[in-house]
Amino acid sequence: MSTNLPAQRHDTPDSDREGVQSAGFTRTPPHDLDAEQSVIGSLLLSGSPSGASYRFFAEVLDTGIVTEEYYRPVHQTIHRAICEVHEAREPVDPVTVAAKLTERGELARVGGRAYLHACVQAVPTAANGAHYAEIVRAKAYRRAVIESAQRILDFAYSEVGDEDEIRDLVEQHLTDLIAGTPGLTQAPPTVDDLYLDFVADLEDIQNGQRIGLPYGFADLDSLTSGMQPGNVTVVAAQSGVGKSTLALNAAVAAAKAGGKVMFSSLEMSATELMQKIAAAEGDVPLHHLTHQDVLTAEGWEKVRRLGPELFKKLPLRVNRPDGASLSDIASAARACARTDGLNLLVVDYLQLVETTQSRTTTREQAVAAVSRGLKNLSVQLNCHVIAMSQLNDDGLMRESRAIKNDAFLVIKVERPDADDKESPRAGEVDLIIEKNRFGPTCTMTVAARLHYSRFEDMG
């Protein structure tokens, strides 16, 4: 197997040169010390929550790698210290991990600070940390297979026990091996297993206790019972109608209700999003925040109060990913889920998310892959997803079939005064519910106060 790792950088103490040797091994067991060093180095390089590469740290842990899967005991000891530092919510780097190893009296045994830095220098790129971890896990699994097979052979040669005991031993070892296969899923639950949870959920719903996160609009929240985890809401509109504003309003409403929210924008910068939130929540005209010499003293005071009264308390994260791929968004969402939890992910917008396309891949297939990926992510992270989608000039959703199939709720946003400034319905916006998986479809109207970057309930 080609690992694309640097050659032979195992500057490990002589006392640890042989690694872990089970009595079941008569030859050198499968292992990859370069990969092990690179996993440790990747974790040490990317373990600061405030760093741009922190998602790589999370991706390594997402592989499920555990201390016992390293072949070399030194690496087991360092990995254990890294996990303890991380669990204490401290940044992971060579200094903090060395301090933890010193505290445990293990620093000299692993080769001192010099070996920690040697692991860092051995890493081609921290971005490949998860790949290196998978190599380590695969080698560990092969060692487990060899050791179990050797134990079965030893028992069979010993002539101890009868055929039933041999069969039980073989079944036990094979079952343990199969259960430990990386990536193997368990059998899904039976309906009998699910029944009691179903009844408990039903009681909560009937008692009004199973209400999802609010969208922030009374009629919409009543129609849907709020945003439930594992579902996707699609908000579709033509350019300039205000779909991003609507989604940002919903994100803030959900965060005010206590939901942990991440707003991932591929269209607006973090500064632009902050300006919109400040305008909506501070009753400050948006153009006062974007133009020179128009913000009044009263406006400045409103902005100042937003810090301690709103932003300090609001569990809302703004993500402007380095790239525009679904994996970039998913990595940031998983990092949020691990750090504080994640209840709502907003993606603005679908057609801007990049996918890997072959020459035969159509644009509709590419967007369908993004839509399906967001649906899968909502299930994996047990969060709700709001995805923006662009409508064409005819008012039709681009690549609509796949997007609608994956959505729990589809909201089409229309402004009667968008093309007719003299419309008697100026300032009104229709939220057309085109799909509602567990309820009726209808049209509801809200008020647009776009100079404050805000939509509101009518009246």
- CATH number assigned to the domain comprising residue 113: 1.10.860.10
Q: Do 432 and 385 share a structural domain?
A: yes
Confidence of residue 15 (pLDDT cuts 50, 70, 90): very low
Which tokens hold the place of 181? 């296969």
Q: Specify the 3-state DSSP secondary structure of 182.
A: coil
pTM over 0.75: no
Please say if the pLDDT value at position 4 is more than 50: no
Confidence of residue 35 (pLDDT cuts 50, 70, 90): very high
Q: How far apart are CA 135 and CA 124, in angstroms?
A: 15
Q: Do 223 and 172 share a structural domain?
A: no
Its domain, for residue 341, covers 218-457
Q: How far apart are CA 259 and CA 253, in angstroms?
A: 9
- CATH code, domain with 255: 3.40.50.300
Average pLDDT rounded to a whole number, residues 9-28: 52
Q: Do 247 and 99 share a structural domain?
A: no
* Cβ atoms of 11 and 40 closer than 8 Å: no
| 274 lies in some domain | yes
Q: How many domains does the chain have?
A: 2
| 416 lies in some domain | yes
| 142 lies in some domain | yes
305-339 burial code (b ≥16 CB/10 A, e <16):
ebeeebeeebbbbbbbbeeebbbbbbbbbbbbbbe
30, 36, 37, 42 alpha-carbon torsion, rounded to 10°: 160
Beta bridge partners of 410: 234, 435
Confidence of residue 332 (pLDDT cuts 50, 70, 90): confident
Q: Residue 7 has what DSSP assignment? A: S
pLDDT attached to residue 371? 84
* Cβ atoms of 417 and 427 closer than 8 Å: yes
pLDDT attached to residue 323? 66
Confidence of residue 356 (pLDDT cuts 50, 70, 90): low
Q: Where are the alpha helices (DSSP H) in 63-111?
A: 73-87, 94-103
Q: How far apart are CA 387 and CA 375, in angstroms?
A: 10
Beta bridge partners of 119: none
Q: How far is CA 375 from its chain centroid?
A: 12
Average pLDDT rounded to a whole number, residues 45-64: 85
| 96 lies in some domain | yes
Report the range of poorest mean pLDDT among 27-31, 34-38, 231-235, 351-355. Answer: 351-355
Beta bridge partners of 388: 235
Whether residue 349 is preceded by a cis peptide bond, meaning omega within 30 degrees of 0, is: yes
Average pLDDT rounded to a whole number, residues 353-365: 68
Q: How far apart are CA 404 and CA 388, in angstroms?
A: 12
* Cβ atoms of 409 and 227 closer than 8 Å: no
Q: How far apart are CA 198 and CA 195, in angstroms?
A: 5
Average pLDDT rounded to a whole number, residues 92-97: 94
**pLDDT-above-90 percentage for the chain:** 41
Say how many C-beta atoms besides its own lie within 10 A of residue 127's C-beta.
Answer: 15
> Which residue matches tokens 């020459």?
359
| 438 lies in some domain | yes
Strand pairing class (454-457; 232-237): unpaired
Which tokens hold the place of 377? 């992510």
Q: Do 33 and 173 share a structural domain?
A: yes
Please say if the pLDDT value at position 183 is more than 70: no
| 2 lies in some domain | no
Confidence of residue 360 (pLDDT cuts 50, 70, 90): low
